[in-house]
Amino acid sequence: MIDLRSLSYVVTLARRLSFARAAEDLGISQPALTRAVQAVEKRFDVRLFDRDRSGVRVTAQGQAMLDAAAVLLANANDLERQWDRTAKGQSGDVYFGMAPMPARALLSATVLERLKAAPGVRNIAVVRNVDALWPLLVAGEIEFFVAAEGQVPEAVPVRAEVVGTFPNSLIVRRGHPLLTGTGTDARFPILTSSRSGMSHAAGLEDTADGAPHVIEDFGALVQLTASSDAIWRTSSYAVAEEITRGLLCELPRSRGNAAKNIRMMMYRLERRSQSVGAKSLAQIMRRLTRQLSGQKW
The reply to whether 98 falls in a domain is yes
Exposure class string for 54-75: b at 16+ Cβ within 10 A, else e: eebebeeebeebbeebbeeeee
Query: Which residues lie below 8 Å from residue 45, measured CB to CB, with a gap of 6+?
Result: none
Mean pLDDT to the nearest integer, 62-84: 81
From 52, 87, 122, the end of a domain falls on 87
* Contact predicate 218/193, CB 8 Å: yes
What pLDDT, on a 0 to 100 scale, did the predictor assign at position 255?
Answer: 46
Task: Give the pLDDT band (50/70/90) at residue 88.
Answer: low
Domain CATH for 108: 3.40.190.10
- pLDDT for the residue numbered 195: 73
Question: Is residue 126 assigned to a domain?
Answer: yes
CA 96, 100, 106, 107 dihedral sign is positive
CA-based end-to-end distance of the chain:
68
Per residue in 267-278, pLDDT (tens digit) is: 998 878 888 888
Span 205-212, mean pLDDT? 79
CATH number at residue 60: 1.10.10.10
pTM: 0.68
CATH code of residue 219 = 3.40.190.290
pLDDT band at 256 (very low <50, low <70, confident <90, very high): very low
Mean per-residue pLDDT, 255-265: 69
37 within a domain of the structure (yes/no): yes
